Amino acid sequence: MKERKGHLVGKVVSLAVIFSGIAAAILVIVGIFEVRSTYLNLIEEELHISDMQADSEFSKMWDGDWAYNDGILTKGETEVYDEYLNAMLELKKETNLDYTIFYGDTRAVTTLKKADGSDYLINTQAAPAVVETVLNQGKTAYKPNITIEGMKYYGYYAPLTNSDGSVVGMMFVGRESSDVSAALLKITLVMVIVGVLSIIVLIVLGIIASKKSEKAMNSVSGVITTLASGDLTQTVPEELILRNDEVGTMAESAKSLEDKLRDIIGLSVGLAGDVTRSGDELASSAEQASMASNQVTDAVDEISKGAVSQAESVQDSATNVGEIGSDIDTVRDNVTTLNNNTSDMQEACDNSMKALNQLLEQNENVIRSMKEIDEQIRNTNSAVQNIAEASKLITDIASQTNLLALNASIEAARAGESGKGFAVVATEIGALADQSRQAAVDINDTIKELTAESEKSVNTIVQLNEELDEQSKHLDSTKHDMERMQEGVSSVYANAGEISTRVENLDSSKGNLADIIEDLSAISQENAASTEQTNASMEELNATFEIINKSADDLRNLASQLNDAISFFKLDMGDDA
């Protein structure tokens, strides 16, 4: 096999590392430009906000309009130079920004100093381009690259107005360019260092991954090379199969190939042995078959003798078939009668089921009616109880009325002649009260009798309901029995039809059986003639067995050649056992 020294995995990993390094470098460069752009935008935004804050703060410290005469800045009637300078210096400490108030184009208050650092840069003029934009047009101006006393600044100018809205000066906020450049340089260095470290880490990881992958690939390749040489005793390491990557897939495939080859070669070895044994067995079987052929020849003679006896038995069978035909006709008549009776039984059973279903339905209607009657009687009983309560109340009212009538009579007697009319009324009321009490007593007696009769009716209804429930149970049981009987009758009817069909088939088969027996008789006569032809065929069979013996020898030779071819593979049969 040709020796190959290439490293595919190393090349792939190297290319991946190179492209990853290029991508990291591109990302670093793009990141530097993006960060620089973003940072400069933030500087502009910071200066804008700081300028607005300073303008708002300084404009509100004192009321009045701005003025600048003989180098003195005033706000209203107040000189504000010292206070504004101190405020600006405080802001500079906090923000590291420089502030300037221009009156017109002249610096009136500023934190900027001259180049020699001797004094503040006041009474100096702004650049003409700034004056044109801010003072003349009333717009803000952002200058990212202005030079003041030899120093580079990022500056922001905004109009300074009086109460009437007129632009009288400018508010300046600036940051030294060196601060911005230092910050950008720091950020750039950090990103470059991170990019370089990332590339170094990628290279190291690529080398480690390449080494591990090459080792694993070499192991798989070694196993496959061993398999190609015919050595099936080697196996793929388990740790390679357990890898969760392409190497694991290759190792698993190599393991599967190894197992398949071991199975196929082992099976082929076994088959070669089986073929050899089969050739021996085939030769032995051919010899035995030849001996059996001679025995068959002798048996044919005996068959010829039995053919004559068979013809006699066939004639007796023909006689018996005639008797069977007579019995079949009798069975067919009986089955027809059974079919008719079963049909009548099924019709009667269906009528009984209809009547039983109607009876069940009527029974359910009676039960519902009895429940309604029971409910009405109970409602009547409840109404009677209410009447009894009302009658009792009438009795009590009559007693009270009678007592009141008696008191009224007494009072009328005391009144003398003037109370006689009232006494008559009281007497009548007393009489009416007695009548009401007597009527209430009669009502109570009637209610008692009605209650007793109602309770009897309730008990009768309860007993009747129990009897109806029992009757329903018996009807349900009867319906269940009728359904079973209906199923049985249907089954009998179906079976009777099946029997009738089978009897018809049997009658049809009777004629076929007679024809078969006649054919069998003719065949028995022909068997004797056939035995002579069988003897000739047996001689040809013996010649065929000789050919089979030769084929068995050829099969043994092929098995030997198969064993020689399989011996190329080294197979540890002990592992399979």
Distance, first Cα to last Cα, the chain = 33
pLDDT at 355 over 70: yes
Mean pLDDT for 186-212 is 84
> What Rg do the C-alpha atoms of the chain give, in angstroms?
65
Task: Assign 138 to helix, strand or coil.
Answer: coil
Pick the CATH number of 348-491 from 1.10.10.10, 1.10.287.950, 3.50.40.10, 1.25.10.10: 1.10.287.950
pLDDT at 202 over 60: yes
Evaluate whether 175 touches 185 at the Cβ level (below 8 Å).
no
pLDDT at 6 over 60: no
Evaluate whether 53 touches 59 at the Cβ level (below 8 Å).
no
pLDDT at 137: 93
The amino acid present at 453, given as its one-letter code, is: E
The larger pLDDT score, comparing residue 329 to residue 170, is at 170
The larger pLDDT score, comparing residue 73 to residue 512, is at 73
CA–CA distance, 322 with 325 (Å, rounded to integer)? 5
| Residue percentage of the chain with pLDDT more than 70 | 83
pLDDT at 560: 76
pLDDT at 398 over 50: yes
Mean pLDDT for 206-230 is 74
How does pLDDT run across 245-293, given as a tens digit for each residue?
A: 777 787 778 778 777 777 777 777 677 677 667 767 766 766 776 676 6
CA–CA distance, 257 with 62 (Å, rounded to integer)? 95
CA–CA distance, 230 with 260 (Å, rounded to integer)? 13
The larger pLDDT score, comparing residue 375 to residue 539, is at 375
Task: Assign 72 to helix, strand or coil.
Answer: strand
The full 3-state SS of 429-442, as one line of letters, equals HHHHHHHHHHHHHH
Beta bridge partners of 167: 161
pLDDT at 157 over 90: yes
How does pLDDT run across 142-155, given as a tens digit for each residue?
A: 999 898 888 899 99
Phi and psi dihedrals of 283, rounded to 5? -65, -45
Evaluate whether 70 touches 193 at the Cβ level (below 8 Å).
no
pLDDT at 132: 93
| pTM for this predicted structure | 0.38
> What CATH class does 9-208 carry?
alpha beta
pLDDT at 577: 38
Pull the structure tokens for residue 447: 């209610």
pLDDT at 279: 66
- pLDDT category of residue 136 using cuts at 50, 70 and 90: very high
DSSP string across 382-409: HHHHHHHHHHHHHHHHHHHHHHHHHHHH
The larger pLDDT score, comparing residue 136 to residue 464, is at 136
- pLDDT category of residue 348 using cuts at 50, 70 and 90: confident
pLDDT at 220 over 60: yes
Pull the structure tokens for residue 445: 């007696």
pLDDT at 9 over 70: no
How does pLDDT run across 107-129, given as a tens digit for each residue?
A: 999 999 888 888 898 999 998 99
List, by residue range, all CATH 1.10.287.950 domains of the chain. Answer: 348-491
How does pLDDT run across 295-345, given as a tens digit for each residue?
A: 666 765 676 666 566 666 666 766 766 776 777 778 778 778 877 877 887
CA–CA distance, 260 with 273 (Å, rounded to integer)? 20
**Residue written as token pair 């029974």:** 363
pLDDT at 515 over 80: no
Cα 273 vs. chain centroid, distance in angstroms? 55
What percent helix, strand, coil does the chain show, rounded to 5?
80, 10, 10
pLDDT at 212: 73
The larger pLDDT score, comparing residue 502 to residue 86, is at 86
Looking at 100-104, 479-483, 494-498, 536-540, which range is the least confident one?
A: 536-540
List, by residue range, all CATH 3.30.450.20 domains of the chain. Answer: 9-208
- pLDDT category of residue 208 using cuts at 50, 70 and 90: confident
Evaluate whether 65 touches 231 at the Cβ level (below 8 Å).
no
